[in-house]
Amino acid sequence: MSALDLSFEVFPPKEGTSPDFEAGVRGLTAIGQTVSVTYGASGSGRDRSEIAIEALSATQDASKIAAHLTATGQSRERVLDLVSNWKDRGVRKVVALRGDTPPAGLDEFACAAELTEAISRIGGLDISVACYPEGHPKSPSPQAEMDHLKRKIDAGASRAITQFFFDPDMYLRFRDRCVAAGITAPIVPGILPVASLNVLHRFADRCGASVPAWLDARFSGLEDATDDRRALSIATCVSLAERLAAHGVSHIHLYTLNRFRDALTVARALGHTPEPTVQTSPKTEEAA
């Protein structure tokens, strides 16, 4: 099996950037297609994201950095000015999302499809959007959600990245439904390492994803066994990626949780040899 294409998602540290964070991202860009930086829901969270993107675009290959951007909570003018600024800095990839903040009474984009269409009109940008194999918690119906995904793709998105999941068959059924709906863009599987069962269930409750009983059983009792939990998390990610690859998947998106060392180990197991090897502080990764 040839090495899978990999992209990675990271979140900005509290100070917006740091030497460990920048070194970790540099290691990921050396072996992956893209490292995307999440965007805070509002206020200081957005500030940290923007600081991180500006720092990364100034110190490394900006063409491999993708900036998350949310439609809600700020004006259309402000959003488009931000995208244009990033483009001037060499950042040519955007992940267009609706966002979780309620409308703030501004002249906002109503949804991710509108945001995608507006970014597409700027030109010269590669746009990814989100999709939800198990359904978005706020979606009125599976058909309405599929229609909205097609609208985002038709608006100019190059691919859709899934919410995390642990059942490859469920992903494959969703991919088939996308094809039947006329969606030809790649549906990139998103894989989440298990940092802890508590964290996993919190994420799953927030986004409507399911945690299978076998996964609970696999990680039960390992909350204080850091090394064992890390090793098992890596093995679980690799196994899921390999099962997907056996069904024609060529690109995996890894939600790293800023655990750079673990992400590099997953990449190595999937056929990528990182060079140079990035040394990150285990203490920093645990704090993340």
Which of 54-63, 175-184, 273-282 has the weakest average pLDDT?
273-282
Q: How far is CA 56 from the centre of its chain?
A: 17
Rounded to a whole number of angstroms, the CA Rg of the chain reads: 18
Q: What is the mean pLDDT of the chain?
A: 90
Which of 94-108, 128-142, 184-198 has the weakest average pLDDT?
94-108
pLDDT at 274 over 70: no
Q: Which residue type sits at 54?
A: E
Question: For residues 35 and 98, which has the higher predicted lDDT (pLDDT)?
Answer: 35
CA–CA dist 247, 173 (Å, integer) = 12
CB 260 within 8 A of CB 24: yes
- Express the helix, strand and coil content of the chain in percent, nearest 5 each: 45, 15, 40
Determine the pLDDT at residue 103. 56
Identify the band that residue 286 occupies on the pLDDT scale cut at 50, 70 and 90: very low
Average pLDDT, integer, range 223-240:
95
pLDDT at 156 over 80: yes
Residues 6+ positions from 70 with CB-CB distance below 8 Å? 39, 41, 97, 98, 99, 100, 101, 115
How many Cβ atoms sit within 10 Å of the Cβ of residue 218? 16
Which of 133-137, 164-168, 272-276 has the weakest average pLDDT?
272-276
CA nearest to 68, candidates 105, 95, 87? 95
> Considering the domain 5-287 in this protein, what is its CATH number?
3.20.20.220
Average pLDDT, integer, range 256-272:
95
Which of 39-53, 64-78, 107-121, 196-210 has the weakest average pLDDT?
39-53
Residue 287 belongs to what H/E stretch? helix 282-287
Domains of the chain by residue range: 5-287
CA nearest to 99, candidates 108, 112, 86, 88? 112
Average pLDDT, integer, range 120-125:
96
Q: Note the pTM of the prediction, 2 decimals.
A: 0.91
Helix, strand, or coil here: 195? coil
Q: What is the DSSP letter of 146?
A: H
pLDDT at 139 over 90: no
Catalytic residues: 9
Which of 11-20, 238-247, 276-285 has the weakest average pLDDT?
276-285
Q: What percent of the chain clears pLDDT 70, i.e. is strictly above it?
A: 90
Q: Which two tokens stand for residue 132?
A: 């939800």
Identify the band that residue 101 occupies on the pLDDT scale cut at 50, 70 and 90: low
Determine the pLDDT at residue 275. 58
Query: Would you state the torsion angle of the CA atoms of residues 260, 279, 225, 165, taken in this order, to the nearest 10 degrees?
Result: 10
Which of 13-17, 98-102, 159-163 has the weakest average pLDDT?
98-102
Residues 6+ positions from 44 with CB-CB distance below 8 Å? none
